[in-house]
Amino acid sequence: MHKTSVLTTYLANAGYTAREILIVMLIAVVGAVITGVCISDLSVYRGENAAKRDALHTAILNNQPPAGKSWREAGANNLNVRVSVVWIAERLSRITGNSTDFIYRAMDLAALFIALLSIHVLLKTWYLPVEAILGLILFCLLLPCTALNYYFHPWDRPMLILWTAMIFALVNNRVIPFTLLYAISILVKFDSVMAAGMIVLLFARPSNWRRPAGTTLIVGALGIMIWGALLVDFPGGQEPIDVFKQIAGNFSLAVEIGIDYPPLLVHGLLLALGILGWKSATIIMRRLAVFGLLLLIPHLMFTNFVEVRSQIGTMLCLLPLALRGVLSISESAGWQPTRAAGGGLTYGNYNFSSETR
């Protein structure tokens, strides 16, 4: 009972009400199930891909490409160093007696749920509760696109949590927690080594750029050292990438797919909304969005760009500014949120307080 009261007091001090917690949890559950079960069963976890998933799990576990192929031939270039989640899944499988396929599904669902709760917390850095909920719904709208065009990437859902936590730490000026999260994220998926650039981009000013730049170099060096250690411990999985061929292939596929190209749907919508909200956004929101767009450059050069799941950092960086754009539409019509007596919200002449029925 005492623990429950302490938790209730903590949540109340953090600005949470019972209704808000219930609504956010319901949205997170529904969003996680739609993407992690309904959509994923038709894509990531299709039955016909079960053998390939198991083969790749074993290959990464043993650092041996599957079926005598090279890592590139198996479509798994650079995957052999992403061992953390694979190891965890293997241990959980042995402890519980469940198949690794079951464990990966459970981890996906749990990570999605936690990530969606975390995204709401992140958005409350800038927004009122009802606005943060709207932003969470916007993210859930785009989330199914991250379950397309792949069959084995179990580290992406944990990375969604880590990216959210890293952004939250930085926008709240917590560099040490950011650094710890950053180090963990590289052990999960080394692509996040680029996240160190957020420090200088968010905090550098003409009158004060040396400290953010120096911090970025130190944190980035730590990330590169961890990445280098992984490459030494798990050699052989990194084959050269023809950058020009990769870019050409990405553009060719985008033209072939057309309007339903996942990166266009996801980043196009977020960018359009972000443009609408640019003038009324904070400096941090703007800089965060710019960093998110910069993150797309290495993805375009070195990865299959259609796999929008790997661009989750960009989605999160664009989201606060995009939500600002959504709200600017109502504000342009004179509907601006203010606190009413009794703790409710007032939009124009409409009061959404707890007494309104």
Q: What is the pLDDT of residues 278-321, one digit of tens each?
A: 999 999 999 999 999 999 999 999 999 999 999 999 999 999 99
Domain annotation covers residue 357 = no
Ramachandran area for residue 303 (φ above 0: left; ψ -120 to 50: alpha; else beta)? beta
User: Distance between CA atoms of 213 and 147, rounded to whole angstroms?
Assistant: 36
Domain annotation covers residue 14 = yes
Task: Give 230-234 contacts, CB < 8 A, sequence gap 24+.
Answer: 230/81, 230/83, 230/186, 230/187, 230/190, 231/81, 233/81, 234/63, 234/80, 234/81, 234/83
Domain annotation covers residue 355 = no
Overall average pLDDT of the 217-221 stretch: 97
For residue range 231-241, what is the model confidence (pLDDT) as tens digits? 999 988 888 88
Q: Give the residue ranges of DSSP H helices in 41-191.
A: 50-62, 84-96, 100-123, 129-142, 156-171, 175-188
Number of domains, the chain:
1
Domain annotation covers residue 242 = yes
Higher-confidence residue: 341 or 40? 40
Kindly tell me if the per-residue pLDDT of 51 is higher than 50. Answer: yes
User: Distance between CA atoms of 122 and 132, rounded to whole angstroms?
Assistant: 8
Question: By three-state DSSP, how is residue 197 classified?
Answer: helix
Domain annotation covers residue 88 = yes
**pTM exceeding the 0.85 threshold for the entire prediction:** yes
Domain annotation covers residue 176 = yes
What's the token pair of residue 38? 């309904």
Calculate what percentage of the chain has a pLDDT beyond 90. Answer: 74
Q: ∠ CA(156), CA(162), CA(166), 5° rounding?
A: 140
Q: Give the residue ranges of DSSP H helices in the chain.
A: 2-13, 18-33, 50-62, 84-96, 100-123, 129-142, 156-171, 175-188, 197-203, 210-233, 243-257, 262-277, 283-302, 312-332
Domain annotation covers residue 41 = yes
CB atoms inside a 10 Å sphere around CB 2: 6
Query: Whole domain around residue 160: which residue ranges?
Result: 2-350
Domain annotation covers residue 162 = yes
